Amino acid sequence: MAVAARPPRRLINRIAGRHPVGVAFAAPYMIFLVVIYAYPIILAIYMSFHDYFFAAPGAQVDRPFIGLDNYSTALGDPAFRRALLNVVVFLVINVPLTVGLALVLASALNTALPFRTFFRSSYYLPYVTASVALIGVWLWLFNSDGLVNAIIGEAGPDPTWLVNRFWAMPIIAFFATWKQLGFYVLVYLAALQNVPQELYDAAAVDGAGKLRSFQHVTVPGVRSATTLVIILATIVGANFFTEPYLLTGGGGPNGASISPVLLMYQEGIEQNKPGYAAAIGVILAIGVVVVSLVNRFLLERD
Amino acid sequence: MRGTKFVRTRAIVAIVTAFLFVAAACGGDEESVSEAQRSTGPIKIWYSNNPEEIEWGKQVVNAWNKEHPDEEVPGQEIPAGETSEEVIAAAITAGNTPCLVFNTAPAAVPQFDRAGGLVNLAEFEDGVSYIEERSGDRAAQYGYPEGEYNQMPWKANPVMIFYNKDLFKKAGLDPENPPLATYDEFLAASQALVDKGGVQAAIWPAPSSEFFQSWFDFYPMFIAQTGSGQLVEDGQAQFNNEDGVAVAEFWRQMYEEGLAQQETYNGDAFADQKSAMATVGPWAIAVYGEDIDWGVSPVPTQDGIAPEETYTFSDEKSIGMYTSCENQGTAWEFLKYATSEENDGLFLEISGQMPMRTDIIGTYSEYFEKNPEYEVFAEQAERTVEVPMVSGSIEMWQEFRNAYSASVIFREEDIQPAFDSAAETINGLVEEGS
Amino acid sequence: MAETIQADDVVDPLGAEEAEPRADQPELRAPGERWKRVGFLTCLTAGALIFLFPFYYMIVGALQTEPNPDVSGAFPDPSNLTLDNFVDINTALNLPRALLNSGIFTAGVILGTLVIGLLAGYALAQLEFRGRGFVFSAMLIVLIVPFQLLMIPLYVMIVRWYGLADTHLGMILPFAVNATAVFVFRQFFMQIPKDVFDAARIDGASELQILMRVAIPISKPALLTAVLVTFIGPWNEFLWPFLITKETDMQPLAVALANYISNVAARAANPFGAILAGATVLAIPAVVLFLAFQRKFVQAHLGSSVK
């Protein structure tokens, strides 16, 4: 393999890096981010340190600086603590299941199958359907008279699934996993297009069966897609809102399935305490970043 | 050296942001406020999007527009329900609320007022007199803060108990004089309904935790039991007193015996005949009238009170006038027009909901002759109680609902300690705001 | 100038062929392998049915006159079937107008994402430039912060500062470049060996040429994924367009349906059916789009050009 020839170190390279055109390519996106998101995000952080509420333009309002009060209240709030626990339960169920199932399914759907279109569509369908409708269906399924209880009879928990302190969160996690799987299958499907057929052929020649070629060709071959899937699943999982909002009507049995973002919605929008909501948001974001960094560290160690 | 360009952009953004905060902080001056009040011209209004209110809204708007061509009112619908609070809150912050919103929930008024979004109707010359003349004694419940009227009480749906006569017959209960006056009677009837009436629940209020759900299970009965007491009075929580605990224990027993369900029903349990009773307002007559042979009864109390003395929750919606309105003069005239005797009557006819007007039965006797089934509700409408108008009211309701859910619906805690703890938090909340 | 890399060297012409049967054909003759294949297909089918079932139930529910919340509702009585719920929707909403608005909103978002997102994703993956880490972090921040927190300030900004209330641009702007898609592009380009691009550089191609002649052609799977992924957001989005547009003829389908649902909910004979009918109508274009695009996911033969 030839070594890439180094371009001369000109002034532009010293300022903007080896490929200064990258700045130009990334610029439209950065402009977009600044124009649209800079103000709301900076405001959110600002709000978290103040006793803040939204007011009409021209209204005289007092918004005193209160330092870390919002943060300490949040950390001491039992609802927030429960919400954080719920996020952990959710992620523990959702992320590994998503990564595993999505990759396996994508590999399966990438082969020559009879009725391939049918199979691909069926896994993708929940992803495109509006939550409102799907949740209606799941409510029906997991009702005390629903299909699931009809099938498993006495073995069902009491109180029944969605109003059960212990089961509400896992059901939500399964729902979310099921619903979003289509997206991750798609990501892996795209990534699999770039795994050269030659590698599979070589593995077959070496006598590897399906399982071994999966382990040694597929999995490493989609490494960067796996990182994407894990990080996205973590972020999306930490931010889940629609499911507790719709599936368990405002946080479930005694807040058993409340999520941090649902709490932010209640506090920030319903009760007009956006400073407090912002503090919750910041704590959540820090948590997500930490988890992602840990993930990345673990992944890169292999 | 990293990203100097971006540092500069950030600085610009920060400066602009700071400038805007300063600009926002400097309020308008007194002069322009009363100017707006005198000013006339076209105004915008929003009404909720249920079909009857739209129908009424369109008629009123058309009639007005014919008579006032230079003060045109284009009306618009927004969905009712919790979403409308979000929309109004966002609009207040952006400064583009319409002049009038015909679906302002009283519980949200303290918040909107704190945000500087509402116009104090008492500032109009005939403001206080008009409101108090139209709504009588009940008007006082809507004055907040003290002496101001930041909302005009518009229409109420006094909460009563609807029951399914066929199911009552099936359960061996008298469908014309149902035994629902005391808690004991109600519980016994419920048991019979579940055992013999073939229903899943005697009554199925939503067990979910949204802040407003208590308005349809606990609160109407609390009001009846205390004889017109509010959740919070004079800055003190009242629900953890004897009466409140009695109501809570009644509901707790309903849940414990399986007479009410802990799960939300996916649809309308009363319409689907999965439950035999429901807490409703007069709107229910139009909704269930054709399909179910219904009867109506006042909410129960511990030892029973005469129906003529029973109070209940109003489930009221007000009209708010918002500060972004430029032509408040017209808005006020339109407000009076829309709540005139004629238009209140039109609303009653079209929707069956009760305008917040004194002596509805007398004023609209013709209507009630033709539609006697609404008379019960009109009668009850004279004795309604509103949510407490206190700062932080939504937060208060959420706190209460959480405690209620834990101790009554899911029975994971005991009632008195849960209520006491919520009361303490709420007392702190209410005090902070005043 | 030396021969530039041709796109043809890198991928098969897309859409023209289905993937050829894999090299595992010979294995099928062994009896154990046949059972494995049967087992594999059975599992896949079972999984597909489980995934499909709620969707099937949704359609069934949408077609019923009376709701049937019992278990038997899954296998409806033919006499209970009707198209009324769908007919109601057509009369209650201005369906073509709502579809047009949804289309404009979604197309705007897809355009912004594909153009700006691809550029950014490619730069993040394959170009070394100052500020690269910063851009990546900014993208992650936007992904992490939930919309509920930003909603009101965003609204104030777009309506008051930029004056874009009741415009399609106002609807599109917050979603104009989907951060997830940028991330997808980045990861996709990271998977492509650097050598592919360096080879072009050695041949004297400018960065722009490399982008146009090498990066974009091989990014078809990522582009397709980005379209399918980005499409869903604005298509199903209710809250933001609802805030931004107050004129009913500006509202996209998701908003119109939500209005219809809360309008109809208390009145219809089968309110649940109405909701499901609405959701079905909303889902159909997405499904059609997917069916059309998914054929393009074909195995690529990437190896040859690197050697």
More confident residue, B270 or C16: B270
- As a whole number of angstroms, the distance between CA A60 and CA B116 comes to 8
In the prediction, which pLDDT does B385 show?
A: 94
Lowest average pLDDT, out of A236-240, B321-325, C214-218, goes to C214-218
Tell whether A54 is covered by a domain: no
Maximum distance among all Cα pairs of chain C, rounded to whole angstroms: 74
From the list C159, C248, C263, the residue facing B51 with the nearest CB is C263
Task: Give yes or no for a contact between B88 and B115, defined as CB atoms under 8 angstroms apart.
Answer: no
d(CA B102, CA B344): 13
Best interface-test mutation with A: which of C17, C145, C270, C282 has the largest number of A CBs within 10 A? Answer: C145
- Determine the Cα–Cα distance for residues B213 and B83; give it in Å rounded to an integer: 15
Using alpha carbons, select from B331, B404, B267 the residue that is nearest to residue B120.
Answer: B331
Question: Global pTM?
Answer: 0.84
Give the whole-angstrom CA distance, residue C80 versus residue C77.
Answer: 5
For A252, the domain range is 64-301
Cross-chain Cβ contact B267/C271 below 8 Å: yes
pLDDT band at B29 (very low <50, low <70, confident <90, very high): very low
Domain harbouring B240, CATH code: 3.40.190.10
- Residue B208 sits in which domain range? 160-314+389-433
Residue B290 has pLDDT above 50, yes or no: yes
Contact state of A271 with B394 under an 8 Å Cβ cutoff: yes
CB contact under 8 A, B17 and A43: yes
> Per the domain annotation, does B58 fall within a domain?
yes
**Residues of B with CB below 8 A from C258's CB?**
79
pLDDT at A280 over 50: yes
Task: Find all residues with CB under 8 Å of C43, minimum gap 6, and list them.
Answer: none
Q: Which of A56, A248, A269 sits opposite B92 (nearest CB)?
A: A56
Give residue for tokens 């894999």: C22
Q: Please say whether the beta carbons of A49 and A70 come within 8 A.
A: yes
Q: In the structure, what pLDDT confidence band is assigned to residue B142 with cuts at 50, 70 and 90? A: very high
pLDDT in tens, B374-411: 999 999 999 999 999 998 899 999 999 999 999 999 99
- Evaluate whether residue A59 is within a structural domain: no
Compute the distance between CA of residue B267 and CA of residue A139 in angstroms, rounded to an integer: 11
Q: Please check whether residue B365 lies inside any domain of the structure.
A: no
**Spatial contact of B388 and B143, defined as CB atoms under 8 Å apart:** no
Which residue of chain B has the CA closest to A257?
B209
Q: CA–CA separation, A278 vs A273, rounded Å?
A: 9
| Tokens 């990066």 -> residue | C215
Cα torsion B141, B144, B150, B153 to 10°: value is -10
Rounded Cα–Cα distance for residues A279 and A270 (Å): 16
Within this chain, do residues B284 and B177 fall inside the same structural domain, yes or no? yes
* B117 plus B226 within the same structural domain: no
Cβ distance A248 to B208 less than 8 Å, yes or no, reads yes
- Per-residue pLDDT, averaged over B121-140, amounts to 92
Do B87 and B142 lie in one domain? The reply is yes
Angle at B398 between CA B393 and CA B402, to 5 degrees: 150
- Same domain for B122 and B59: yes
Has domain C94-306 been given CATH number 3.40.250.10? no
Same domain, B201 and B269: yes
Lowest-pLDDT range of A158-172, A210-224, B307-321, C287-301: C287-301
Spatial neighbors of B69 by CB under 8 A, at least 6 apart, are none
For chain C, say whether A29 makes contact (Cβ under 8 Å).
yes
Residue of C151, C158, C263, C267 to mutate when probing chain B, most B C-beta within 10 A: C263
Kindly state whether residues B54 and B168 are assigned to the same domain. Answer: no
Q: Is A132 on the interface with C (CB under 8 A)?
A: yes
The confidence score (pLDDT) of residue A5 equals: 53
| Residue B379 is assigned to a structural domain of this protein | no
Q: pLDDT value at position A225? A: 85
Task: Give the pLDDT band (50/70/90) at residue B293.
Answer: very high
Say if B82 is an interface residue toward chain A (CB within 8 Å): yes
Please give the residue that has the higher pLDDT: either A43 or B37: A43
Query: Per-residue pLDDT averaged across C140-162, rounded?
Result: 88
Tally of CB atoms within 10 A around A208: 16
Q: Do C258 and B79 touch (CB under 8 A)?
A: yes
**CB of B217 within 8 A of CB of B275?**
no
Whether B94 and C155 lie within 8 Å, measured CB to CB: yes
Do both B186 and B306 map to the same domain? yes
Percent of chain C with pLDDT over 90: 13
Confidence of residue B215 (pLDDT cuts 50, 70, 90): very high
Q: How would residue C1 be classed by pLDDT, with cut points 50, 70 and 90?
A: very low
Sign of CA dihedral A165, A170, A173, A174: negative
Interhelix angle A39-48/B4-25, nearest 10 degrees: 60
For residue B24, pLDDT over 70 is answered with no
Bridge pairing between strands B45-48 and B100-104: parallel
Find the DSSP H helices in C63-178: 84-92, 95-112, 118-126, 132-144, 147-156, 168-172
Alpha carbon distance A125, C55 (integer Å): 7
Hey, are the CB atoms on B93 and C155 less than 8 Å from each other? Answer: yes
Distance from CA of A253 to the nearest CA of C (A): 22
Average pLDDT on A72-101 reads: 92
- Per-residue pLDDT at B51 exceeds 90: no
Distance of CA B241 to the CA centre of its chain: 24
| Inter-chain residue contact A253 with B405, CB threshold 8 Å | yes
CB neighbour list of residue C252: distance below 8 Å, 6 or more residues apart:
C98, C101, C102, C105, C171, C234, C237, C241
Q: Quick check: C76 contacting B, CB < 8 Å?
A: no
Long-range contacts formed by C89-93: CB under 8 A, 24+ apart = C89/C257, C89/C260, C89/C274, C89/C277, C89/C278, C89/C281, C92/C260, C92/C263, C92/C264, C93/C256, C93/C257, C93/C259, C93/C260
Question: pLDDT at residue A97 above 90?
Answer: yes
A42 occurs within a structural domain: no
Inter-chain contact B2–C130, Cβ cutoff 8 Å? yes
- pLDDT tens-digit profile of A126-178? 888 877 778 777 877 787 777 777 777 777 777 778 778 888 888 889 989 99
Question: Residue B219's closest CA among B243, B190, B202, B254?
Answer: B243
How high is the ipTM of this complex? 0.81
Q: Does C123 reach chain A within 8 Å, measured CB to CB?
A: yes
Domain count, chain A: 1
CA distance C69 to B105: 33
B325/B310 same-domain check: no
Residues B289 and B422 in one domain: yes
Q: How far is CA C290 from CA A285, B20, C6, C181, in A?
A: 33, 45, 29, 16
CATH number at residue A214: 1.10.3720.10
A152 reaches C (C-beta below 8 A): no
Most confident of A50-59, C60-69, C253-262: A50-59
Identify the three-state secondary structure at position B262: coil
What is the reported pLDDT for B434?
53
Model pLDDT, residue B6? 46
How many structural domains comprise chain B?
A: 2
Domain locations in chain C as residue ranges? 94-306
B294 and B424 belong to one structural domain: yes
To the nearest 10 degrees (0 to 180), the angle between helices A223-238 and A168-192 is 150
Helices (H), chain A: 11-16, 21-33, 39-48, 69-76, 78-110, 116-128, 131-142, 147-152, 168-192, 197-205, 210-213, 219-221, 223-238, 242, 260-264, 274-301
Chain C interface test: which of A148, A194, A226 (most C C-beta within 10 Å): A194
Closest residue in A to C272 (Cα–Cα): A136
Domain match, B236 and B100 both: no
Which are the contacts of C90, defined by CB distance < 8 A and separation ≥ 6? none
pLDDT band for position B23 (cuts 50, 70, 90): very low
Same domain assignment for residues B425 and B308: yes
Judged by CB atoms closer than 8 Å, whether chains meet at C69 and B266 is answered as yes
Q: Are C234 and C175 in contact (CB under 8 A)?
A: yes
Of B9, B76, B83, which to mutate for an interface test with C (greatest number of C Cβ within 10 Å)?
A: B83
- Report if residue B140 sits inside a domain: yes
